[in-house]
Amino acid sequence: MAEAIKMRATMSGDIADIQVLMNHPMETGLRKNAKTGEKIPAHFINEVTATVNGVVVLQADWSSAIAKNPYLHFKVKGPKAGDKVNVSWKDNMGETNSADAVIS
């Protein structure tokens, strides 16, 4: 499933502005299949980590309450243009995904 993560990282003064779009179904486990009436199993991102040059700058524990294809936007003070940002996630079914971007 692990579709691409779209990410943009730009500098504004001494603050890096990082925007991330993660493709994921984010199923709560409460919806039913319209055709069969069976519950759709829970499938959601539960761990998100962001690093700048290998240093963790954001760590989040999510639950099923996050919308499909979550958008994450955060700012980090201190990085410089050209630094590498990595965002990775793990879901409750053990699937993972990550992406890198260079701060411009």
Domain range summary for the chain, segments of one domain joined by +: 5-102
- What's the whole-number average pLDDT of the chain? 96
How high is the pLDDT of residue 84? 98
The tokens for 11 are: 């500098």
The amino acid that residue 48 corresponds to is V
Average pLDDT over residues 60-83: 97
How high is the pLDDT of residue 2? 62
Tens of pLDDT along 45-62?
Answer: 999 999 999 999 999 999
Measured CA to CA, the distance from residue 65 to residue 102 in angstroms comes to 30
Average pLDDT over residues 71-82: 97
5-102, CATH topology level: Immunoglobulin-like (2.60.40)
